[in-house]
């Protein structure tokens, strides 16, 4: 059902990579589809009922027959979004319910001001705090931020937040090849290489027990660094 | 000839035979024959004249010939591991590309089908509209 908000968001494509999120996916998609007319779910070879849940929603569903990692799923979604000529803004969002739909709207509003090519959600900015991240997670995020600032020169405060908005042109520069979590750094590197103007805005992130259990363990940050160095 | 020399040379010939049996394109096949023959000559020399390897080892600053061989093998293995890793990465990327293309193609097909169906439904409605309720047949 097209709502007035749908009309305003006609040129926005929301890309949501999904891997085994059946538990929360329906609620997430209902919420996002109510705001955005084009929601692209990339099912990354889920073995649960995620794909059927996505198909039952109003989202467009692309399905990877094999699990290829979140970065690969985002890239697939971007490519589909860019095939549609009306798309002028692409938003990426996690599927585990940690991001709020109204924050996605704020990102779009921000990018529409026209002075930046990319808007990134940050857990570290402003009053939003880090949404109850545990100590270990906070330390790991800080480390990732320091490494990224050093390697890309971008003054970001949060590097692994899945909520982002890109202009069409910026999205078309993405060639994500790191299948696993290193794609977050890869996105920032692509932004740096293309001298994209970026802005960060504070977003709330709800770490439910569910998302925490799905999130990567801090040990994985070692793998991310090795992945990036080994290219 | 010592038994160990027979065994070593014999196993090399066996491996060389297997690796050359799968013919690929002409150029890489020629290259492979070259590599196999020269490595084979080296191994045969080393196996038949162990003293030679030791003097080469001494010349480069290694005590025993066997140690030198071990170091060379270590380097070769490292090369193979890196090479295999890079090839696997390329294969992984190709698989991702395939999976992505398949996903996009499938969605595309579904999209056009949905469009066609909705067009047909619309056609149906406009055709039937004048006589939505056909008069009941007299029975």
The pair of three-digit structure tokens given for residue A68, joined into one six-digit string: 């290829």
Burial class (CB in 10 A: 0-12, 13-18, 19+), A1: exposed
Question: Within a domain: residue A230?
Answer: no
Greater pLDDT, A176 or A181: A176
Task: Give me the mean pLDDT over the A84-90 stretch.
Answer: 91
| Contact assignment for B103 to A76 by CB distance below 8 Å | yes
Predicted local confidence at residue A202, as pLDDT: 86
B113 contacts chain A (CB < 8 A): no
Question: Within a domain: residue A27?
Answer: yes
β-strand partners of B133: none
Do B37 and B11 share a structural domain?
Answer: yes
Question: Within a domain: residue B80?
Answer: yes
Question: Within a domain: residue B131?
Answer: no
Each residue's pLDDT tens digit, B48-76 = 888 888 898 899 998 888 888 899 999 99
Question: Within a domain: residue B114?
Answer: yes
Chain B hits for A80, CB-CB cut-off 8 Å, are: 104, 107
Question: Within a domain: residue A231?
Answer: no
Can you tell me the distance from the alpha carbon of B114 to that of A53, in angstroms, rounded to the nearest whole number? 19
| Contact assignment for A68 to B99 by CB distance below 8 Å | yes
β-strand partners of A64: A44
Q: Which residue of A has its CA nearest to B100?
A: A76
Task: Give me the mean pLDDT over the A87-105 stretch.
Answer: 90
| Contact assignment for A179 to B107 by CB distance below 8 Å | no
Predicted local confidence at residue B100, as pLDDT: 95
Do B67 and B35 share a structural domain?
Answer: no
Order the strands of the A38-44 sheet from edge to edge.
A60-64, A38-44, A12-18, A89-92, A164-167, A118-122, A198-202
Predicted local confidence at residue B139, as pLDDT: 44
Q: How many domains does chain B have?
A: 2
Domain membership of residue A147 as a residue range = 4-225
Task: Give me the mean pLDDT over the A87-108 stretch.
Answer: 90
List of chain B residues with pLDDT < 50: 131-132, 139
Question: Within a domain: residue B101?
Answer: yes
Do B89 and B34 share a structural domain?
Answer: no
Q: Which residue of A has its CA nearest to B93?
A: A177
Q: Which of A102, A218, A113, A116 is nearest to A160 (CA)?
A: A218
The CATH number covering residue A100 comes to: 3.90.550.10
Stretch among A37-51, A84-98, A149-163 having the lowest mean pLDDT = A149-163
In the structure, what pLDDT confidence band is assigned to residue A14 with cuts at 50, 70 and 90? Answer: very high
ipTM of predicted assembly, 2 dp: 0.80
Q: Which residues of A touch B (CB under 8 A)?
A: 42, 60-66, 68-69, 72, 75-76, 79-80, 83, 177, 179
Do B75 and B44 share a structural domain?
Answer: no
Question: Within a domain: residue B133?
Answer: no
Predicted local confidence at residue A228, as pLDDT: 62
Each residue's pLDDT tens digit, A105-156 = 999 999 999 899 999 988 777 554 445 566 777 777 777 777 777 777 777 7
Q: How many domains does chain A have?
A: 1
Predicted local confidence at residue A98, as pLDDT: 85
Question: Within a domain: residue B138?
Answer: no
Predicted local confidence at residue B102, as pLDDT: 95
Predicted local confidence at residue A1, as pLDDT: 53
| Contact assignment for A72 to B100 by CB distance below 8 Å | yes
Stretch among A37-41, A114-118, A136-140, A187-191 having the lowest mean pLDDT = A136-140
Task: Please count the residue pairs, one from chain A and one from chain B, whose beta carbons lie less than 8 angstroms apart.
Answer: 39
Burial class (CB in 10 A: 0-12, 13-18, 19+), B139: exposed
B86 contacts chain A (CB < 8 A): no
In the structure, what pLDDT confidence band is assigned to residue A99 with cuts at 50, 70 and 90? Answer: confident
Which regions of chain A does DSSP assign to beta strands (E)? 12-18, 38-44, 60-64, 89-92, 118-122, 164-167, 198-202
Largest alpha-carbon pair distance within chain B? Answer: 114
Predicted local confidence at residue A60, as pLDDT: 92
Question: Within a domain: residue A59?
Answer: yes
Residue tagged 């990877």 (tokens)? A64
Domain membership of residue B13 as a residue range = 1-48
Question: Within a domain: residue B118?
Answer: yes
Can you tell me the distance from the alpha carbon of B22 to that of B17, in angstroms, rounded to the nearest whole number? 9
Do B122 and B67 share a structural domain?
Answer: yes
Of B25, B48, B71, which one is at a domain's C-terminal end?
B48
Predicted local confidence at residue A230, as pLDDT: 60
pLDDT at A226 over 90: no
Chain B hits for A62, CB-CB cut-off 8 Å, are: 103-104, 106-107
Do B41 and B68 share a structural domain?
Answer: no
CA angle A64, A66, A72 (to 5 degrees): 60
Greater pLDDT, B132 or A185: A185
Do B68 and B18 share a structural domain?
Answer: no
B89 contacts chain A (CB < 8 A): no
Q: Which of A165, A200, A9, A6 is nearest to A78 (CA)?
A: A165
Question: Within a domain: residue B117?
Answer: yes
From the CA of A171, how many Å to the nearest CA of chain B?
17
């Amino acid at each position: 059902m097209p709502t007035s908000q749908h009309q305003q968001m006609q040129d926005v494509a929301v890309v949501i990579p999904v891997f085994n999120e059946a538990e929360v996916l329906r609620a997430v998609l209902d919420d996002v589809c109510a705001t955005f007319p084009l929601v692209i779910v990339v099912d990354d070879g889920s073995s649960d009922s995620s794909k059927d849940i996505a198909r039952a929603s109003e989202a467009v569903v692309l399905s990877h027959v094999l699990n290829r990692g979140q970065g690969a799923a985002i890239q697939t979604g971007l490519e589909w979004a860019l095939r549609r000529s009306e798309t002028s803004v692409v938003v990426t969002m996690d599927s585990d319910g940690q991001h709020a739909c109204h924050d996605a709207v704020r990102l779009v509003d921000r990018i529409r001001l026209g002075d930046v090519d990319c808007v990134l959600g940050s857990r570290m900015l402003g009053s939003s705090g880090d949404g109850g991240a545990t100590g270990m997670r906070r330390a790991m995020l800080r480390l990732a931020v320091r490494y990224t600032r050093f390697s890309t020169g971008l003054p970001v405060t949060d590097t692994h937040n899945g909520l982002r908005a890109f202009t069409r042109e910026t999205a078309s520069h993405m060639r994500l090849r790191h299948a696993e979590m290193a794609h977050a750094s890869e996105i920032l590197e692509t932004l740096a290489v293309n001298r994209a103007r970026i802005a960060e805005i504070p977003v709330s992130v709800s770490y439910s027990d569910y998302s925490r259990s799905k999130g990567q363990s801090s040990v994985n940050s070692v793998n991310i660094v090795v992945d990036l160095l080994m290219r | 000839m010592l038994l160990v020399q027979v065994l070593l040379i014999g196993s090399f010939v066996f491996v060389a035979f297997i690796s050359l049996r799968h013919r690929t394109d002409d150029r890489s096949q020629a290259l492979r024959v070259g590599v196999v023959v020269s490595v084979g000559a080296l191994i045969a020399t080393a196996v038949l004249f162990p003293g030679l390897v030791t003097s080469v080892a001494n010349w480069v600053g290694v005590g025993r010939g066997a140690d030198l061989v071990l170091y060379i093998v270590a380097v070769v293995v490292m090369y193979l591991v890196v090479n295999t890793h890079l090839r696997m990465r390329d294969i992984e990327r190709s698989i991702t590309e395939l999976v992505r293309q398949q996903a996009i193609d499938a969605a595309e097909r579904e999209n056009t089908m949905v469009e066609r169906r909705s067009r047909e439904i619309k056609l149906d409605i406009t055709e039937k509209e004048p006589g939505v309720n056909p008069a009941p047949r007299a029975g």
